[in-house]
Amino acid sequence: MSKLTLLFVDHASVIGGAERSLLLLLKHLDRDRWQPHLACPPGDLADAARALDVPVHPFPLPRLRRSVRFPLDLLAHAARLARLARVLDARALVANTVRAAFYTAPAARLVRRPFIWHMRDFWLSESRPRRLLPDTWGKRLLCTAAARVVANSQATAQHLPCPDRVWVIYNGIEVDRYDPLMEGTPFREAYRIPRDVLLVGTVGRLRPWKGQDRFLRILARVRRIREDVWGVIVGGTPFQVEDDYPQRLRLLAQELGVAEQVVFTGHLNDVRPALAAMDVFVHAGDPEPFGLVVVEAMAMAQPVVAFAHGALPEIVVDGETGLLVPPGDEDTLAARVVRLLTHRDEARAMGERGRAWVGAHFHIGRTVRALEETLMSVITDARRKTHDA
């Protein structure tokens, strides 16, 4: 059987969470059945895809700005994308991000191939928009154009106006790469964290909605009860967002009196050593459409304490693989952290159950099989419609 060509589209040049997930999908697709191609701007994502032996087509996708030329610019780029899909004889076009979806939808229509929208966020923008009407209409437009919408969680799916077209496929990880026995001492030594302190940590881009400010307030509460606790904040600004949030975090740490007991690592390409050094993983951010770092922490057998909102209740089994608390309740979250730092047997048992849970539900093999079933279903439907016509 000849391979079926797929054209994936992403607007990013650097690698964020959506791009990490995409690279894993590209790596694990059955190459006996599929030939993936990637259209994206030059940069880290393109280089990483080439390293996986995926043909890359340099394709800048400018930010969608309101202007007189906006519709013409969008259609011009979509036409170029359609020409590429036609040359490749792509059987389906898959948009990995929202911006990519707005270019890919008209391109797929021009080339008469099914369009699949992989939706990984609650909103069409990074955070909740000030006006919901444009977000709602934008989603309706993309839903109408899509043969299928792949949502990364039930929480994400609930934000979409087309439940009949949505398939929930959880993001997956290569579970075997996460070794619970990895030694955390080298990381502690590298960042001058004493070996004999307990370490709580969080991972995520330094953005307000990721909740690093809440994490600092929680750390201060924990240290009022246990002075042998340090904190680590893993994350930077890989998308080059220029604001004063990182500086405000450091000022807040000073105001809370924890500046000497919290470490800011900046962006790390590999978070496993940091996770290995932690005793408890904390997620104190706003609602997450998925929460890949939580899955990674559980794969490292770390107990998780988090707010019970977004997709986290789909990932963390409260009382079994971690502890969930009412959203925004920093006092209770701090108390739960203290509980796990004090009752180490309970924490270790939760960590072990968490790793087993990830292996059963968030393994990349399971994710890829579900995506391949979706792709084949969409392509088969498109062929049937063409034949009937």
Pick from 360, 356, 389, 385: which is nearest to 147 by CA?
385
**Any alpha helices (H) in the chain, and if so which ranges?**
17-28, 44-51, 70-88, 98-111, 132-145, 154-157, 185-190, 212-225, 245-256, 272-277, 292-299, 312-315, 330-342, 344-361, 364-388
3 state SS of 60: coil
Rg (CA), the chain: 22
Q: Mean pLDDT over residues 149-165, rounded?
A: 97
Q: How far is CA 5 from the centre of its chain?
A: 25
pLDDT at 240: 62
257-285: pLDDT as tens digits: 999 999 999 999 999 999 999 999 999 99
Q: What pLDDT score was predicted for residue 71? A: 81
Q: Are residues 349 and 370 in the same domain?
A: no
Are residue 71 and residue 141 in the same domain, yes or no? Answer: yes
pLDDT digits (tens, 9 = 90+) for 324-376: 999 999 999 999 999 999 999 999 999 999 999 999 999 999 999 999 999 99
pLDDT > 80? residue 318: yes
pLDDT of residue 341: 98
* Same-domain pairing of 11 and 37: yes
Percentage of residues in the chain with pLDDT exceeding 70? 97
Phi, psi angles (nearest 5°) of residue 363: -75, 140
**Chain centroid, CA 367 distance in Å:** 14
**What per-residue confidence (pLDDT) applies to 385?**
82
d(CA 342, CA 69): 61
Report the pLDDT value the prediction gives residue 361, as an integer from 0 to 100. Answer: 97
Query: What is the spatial distance between Cα 173 and Cα 278, in angstroms, rounded to a whole number?
Result: 20
- Residue 48: both structure tokens together: 């990483």
Nearest to residue 41, comparing CAs of 25, 20, 62?
62
Q: What is the pLDDT of residues 64-95, one digit of tens each?
A: 865 546 788 889 999 999 999 999 999 999 99
Q: Does one domain contain both 166 and 218?
A: no
At 336 the pLDDT is 98
pLDDT given at position 1: 63
Q: For 55, list phi and psi in degrees, rounded to 5.
A: -60, 130
Q: Which pLDDT score, from 0 to 100, does residue 389 have?
A: 60
Q: Does residue 316 share a domain with residue 199?
A: yes
Query: Cα(162)–Cα(146) distance, rounded to whole angstroms?
Result: 10
Q: Does 373 lie in the same domain as 356?
A: no
Domains: count for the chain:
2
CATH code, domain carrying 237? 3.40.50.2000
Beta strands 148-151 and 4-9, pairing class: unpaired
Per-residue b or e along 24-36, where b marks 16 or more CB atoms closer than 10 Å to that residue's CB: bbbbbbeeeebbb
- Same domain assignment for residues 93 and 120: yes
Mean pLDDT within 146-175: 97
Residue 360's contacts (CB-CB under 8 Å, 6 or more residues apart) are none
Per-residue pLDDT tens over the stretch 7-29: 999 999 999 899 999 999 999 99
Let me know whether 198 and 110 are in one domain: no
What is the domain range of residue 146?
4-172+363-388
Q: Indicate whether 38 and 115 sit together in one domain.
A: yes
**Does residue 47 sit in the same domain as residue 164?**
yes
How much is the pLDDT for 59? Answer: 94
Asked whether the beta carbons of 320 and 353 are under 8 A apart, the reply is yes
pLDDT, greater one: 243 or 354 = 354
Residue with tokens 């040359």: 87
Is the pLDDT assigned to residue 239 strictly greater than 80?
Answer: no
Q: How much is the pLDDT for 360?
A: 97
CA dihedral 268, 271, 276, 278 (to 10 degrees): 70
User: Looking at 21-35, 62-76, 96-110, 250-264, which range is the least confident one?
Assistant: 62-76
Q: Residue range 132-159: average pLDDT? A: 97
140 and 277 in a single domain? The answer is no
pLDDT computed for residue 242 by the predictor: 61
Residues 303 and 313 both lie in one domain: yes
Distance CA 212, CA 205 (A): 9
**Mean pLDDT across the chain, nearest whole number?**
95
Lowest mean pLDDT among 51-60, 141-150, 171-180, 238-247: 238-247
Q: What HEC string does 324-368 produce?
A: EECCCCHHHHHHHHHHHHHCHHHHHHHHHHHHHHHHHHCEHHHHH
